[in-house]
C-alpha cells in the first residue's frame, strides 16, 4: 500500500490552488490570465472589508502577482465572464456555470426560504417588487441608493429599506442580476439584459448540481479530507457525504493513504488529479511561491485541512471581539513554498500611500533565514506595488529582529 508523503500532498494542494508557481513564472497580467485564475478556482469570495484591497482582488493577487484590478472589473461588468452568485459564500463565479445557481433560485421561488416567504406575504410587498422591477425595466440598472427617499416619509414607495428588500427578493429569485458595482454598491438589472445569450440555462436537478459542485471542489483542492469537497461550496456534511460515497464507488474520487501532521489518514483525490499526485510524489511539482493569503481565500475553504496538512489554525479575527484577537483584525497568513510560516496584519493608508503592518509574526519554530527573508521581501515589494504604496511601516514583529531584516531586504 502506497502512503503518500505530506510534502507530496501539500505540493498537489498548492498546485491545484495555483499557489505553487514562482513569481517569475507568472504570466503577464491580461484579461485571459485573470480569468484563468478564477475559472480554475471555481469562484472567489466577495467581502466588504477593505483594510487593504478587497478579498476577491487579493485572491487573484496571491496567485498572479500585481495586476490592474480594473481587468477583473472588466471581466465582470463588460466582458460578462463572471457573475455574482452563491458558491462558498457570495462570490464571483465564471459565467459558464450560471445554470448551477438555478436550483437555488427555483427553491426560493417555491417558498424554500421562510424569511422571503414571510416578507413577500406582508401587505404591499408584492406590489413593491413589481414597482422596483418595472422601474429598472424602464430606466436600466439601479442601485439601492437610487430608491432612497430624501424626505424619509415612512411607508413611501421608495423608502430605502423596503426597496432594498424588494431588490434582494427579485435577485434571489433570478429575476435580477448584478450588472456591475459602483463604489462597491450593487447595480441591479434585469437578468435578460445581463446574462449573455450563449449561457446554458438548462436547469440541473439538485442532485446534478450537488454532484458537479462536489467534483469541482475535489479538483480545486487536490488532496483533502472526505468532507472537504462539500466544504468548498458550503454544503452540509450529511448532504456531501452521500455524494462522496457515490463518487468513490464510481472511481471518480479515489481514496489514498497519506501522511498528515499527526498520522496516516484516508484522504481523497479526484481521478483527474492522480497524474498530478504522482508528479508531486516524484518531486516534479515543487512549490516555489511566497505570498500572502487573505482571510477569505479559497485555500481556507476546506475545513480543518490547514491543521491536518500544515499544523496551522486559521481564524477570521475580524469576526472575533477585539479583546480576544490573537494576531489582528485582518491577518494575512504567509505562505512560503510549501509552508505556512507566519501572519501579518496590514492596513493601507490610501491618502499617504503608507502600508502599515500593525503586527508581523512567524510561527513557532520558524527561523527568519536568509531564504525566507528574501522570499518575504519579494512578496512584500509586490504587495506594495499592487496597492500603490510608497512606504512600509512595521509597527511590531515577533521575533523582534525579523522586521529589521525584512525592511533591509526590501
| pLDDT for the residue 69 | 98
Cβ contact 300:333 at 8 Å: no
| pLDDT for the residue 239 | 95
User: What residues contact residue 169 under an 8 Å CB cut-off, 6+ apart?
Assistant: 116, 119, 120, 125, 129
Cβ contact 58:294 at 8 Å: yes
Taking the chain, what is the end-to-end CA distance rounded to the nearest angstrom?
47
| pLDDT for the residue 117 | 77
Burial of 127: CB neighbours in 10 Å, binned 0-12, 13-18, 19+: exposed
| pLDDT for the residue 199 | 98
Cβ contact 92:56 at 8 Å: yes
Q: What is the DSSP letter of 65?
A: -
Give the three cell numbers for residue 66: 500585481
List strand residue ranges (DSSP E) for 159-301, in order: 176-182, 185-190, 223-224, 253-259, 264-270, 290-292
| pLDDT for the residue 115 | 72
Strand partners, 35: none
Question: In whole angstroms, how large is the CA radius of gyration of the chain?
Answer: 23
Q: How many CA atoms lie within 13 A of 25 on its CB side?
A: 10
Q: Measure the CA–CA gap between 264 and 5, rounded to whole angstroms.
A: 9
Prior bond to 125 cis, omega within 30? no
Beta strands 397-398 and 354-362, pairing class: parallel
Per-residue pLDDT of the chain (410 residues; tens, 9 = 90+): 899 999 999 999 999 999 999 999 999 999 999 999 999 999 999 999 999 999 999 999 999 999 999 999 999 999 999 999 999 999 999 999 999 999 999 998 887 666 777 888 888 888 999 999 999 999 999 999 998 754 444 444 444 478 888 999 999 999 999 999 999 999 999 999 999 999 999 999 999 999 999 999 999 999 999 999 999 999 999 999 999 999 999 999 999 999 999 999 999 999 999 999 999 999 999 999 999 999 999 999 999 999 999 999 999 999 999 999 999 999 999 999 999 999 999 999 999 999 999 999 999 999 999 999 999 999 999 999 999 999 999 999 999 999 999 999 99
Q: Considering only CA atoms, which of 66, 73, 71, 45 is closest in space to residue 291?
A: 66
List strand residue ranges (DSSP E) for 207-272, in order: 223-224, 253-259, 264-270
| pLDDT for the residue 149 | 57
Q: Please, what are the domains in the chain?
A: 3-95+202-282 (no CATH), 111-194 (1.10.10), 315-409 (3.40.630.30)
Task: Give the residue carrying C-alpha cell 489582528.
Answer: 328
C-alpha 157 chain-centroid distance = 36
C-alpha 398 chain-centroid distance = 28
Q: Measure the CA–CA gap between 58 and 351, rounded to whole angstroms.
A: 20
| pLDDT for the residue 113 | 67
Amino acid at each position: 500500500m502506497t502512503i503518500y508523503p505530506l510534502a507530496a500532498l501539500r505540493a498537489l494542494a498548492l498546485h491545484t490552488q495555483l499557489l505553487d508557481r514562482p513569481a517569475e513564472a507568472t504570466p503577464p497580467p491580461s484579461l485571459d490570465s485573470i480569468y484563468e485564475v478564477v475559472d480554475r478556482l471555481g469562484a472567489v469570495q466577495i467581502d466588504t472589508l477593505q483594510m487593504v484591497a478587497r478579498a476577491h482582488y487579493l485572491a487573484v493577487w496571491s496567485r498572479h502577482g500585481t495586476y490592474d484590478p480594473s481587468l477583473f472589473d472588466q471581466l465582470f461588468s463588460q466582458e460578462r465572464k463572471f457573475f455574482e452568485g452563491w458558491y462558498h459564500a457570495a462570490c464571483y463565479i465564471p459565467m459558464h456555470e450560471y445554470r448551477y445557481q438555478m436550483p437555488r433560485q427555483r427553491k426560493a421561488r417555491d417558498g424554500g426560504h421562510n424569511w422571503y416567504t414571510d416578507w413577500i406575504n406582508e401587505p404591499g410587498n408584492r406590489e413593491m417588487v413589481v414597482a422596483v422591477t418595472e422601474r429598472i425595466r424602464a430606466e436600466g440598472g439601479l442601485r439601492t441608493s437610487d430608491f432612497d427617499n430624501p424626505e424619509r416619509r415612512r411607508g413611501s414607495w421608495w423608502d430605502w429599506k423596503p426597496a432594498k428588500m424588494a431588490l434582494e427578493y427579485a435577485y434571489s429569485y433570478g429575476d435580477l442580476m448584478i450588472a456591475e458595482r459602483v463604489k462597491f454598491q450593487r447595480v441591479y438589472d434585469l437578468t435578460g439584459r445581463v446574462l449573455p445569450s450563449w449561457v446554458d440555462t438548462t436547469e440541473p436537478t439538485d442532485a446534478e448540481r450537488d454532484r458537479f459542485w462536489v467534483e469541482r471542489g475535489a479538483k480545486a483542492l487536490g488532496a483533502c479530507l472526505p468532507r472537504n469537497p462539500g466544504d468548498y461550496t458550503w454544503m452540509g456534511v450529511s448532504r456531501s457525504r452521500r455524494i462522496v460515497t457515490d463518487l468513490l464507488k464510481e472511481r471518480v474520487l479515489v481514496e489514498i493513504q497519506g501522511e498528515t501532521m499527526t498520522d496516516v489518514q484516508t484522504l481523497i483525490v479526484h481521478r483527474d488529479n492522480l497524474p498530478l499526485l504522482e508528479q508531486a510524489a516524484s518531486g516534479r511539482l515543487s512549490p516555489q511561491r511566497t505570498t500572502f493569503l487573505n482571510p477569505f481565500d479559497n485555500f481556507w475553504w476546506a475545513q480543518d485541512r490547514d491543521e491536518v496538512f500544515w499544523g496551522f489554525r486559521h481564524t477570521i479575527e475580524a469576526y472575533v471581539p477585539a479583546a480576544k484577537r490573537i494576531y489582528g483584525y485582518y491577518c494575512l497568513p504567509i505562505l512560503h513554498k510549501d509552508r505556512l510560516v507566519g501572519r501579518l496584519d496590514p492596513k493601507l493608508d490610501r491618502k499617504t500611500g503608507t502600508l502599515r503592518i500593525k503586527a508581523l509574526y512567524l510561527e513557532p519554530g520558524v527561523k527568519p533565514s536568509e531564504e525566507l527573508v528574501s522570499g518575504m521581501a519579494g512578496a512584500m515589494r509586490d504587495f506594495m506595488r499592487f496597492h500603490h504604496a510608497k512606504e512600509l511601516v512595521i509597527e511590531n514583529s515577533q521575533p523582534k529582529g525579523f522586521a529589521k531584516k525584512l525592511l533591509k531586504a526590501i
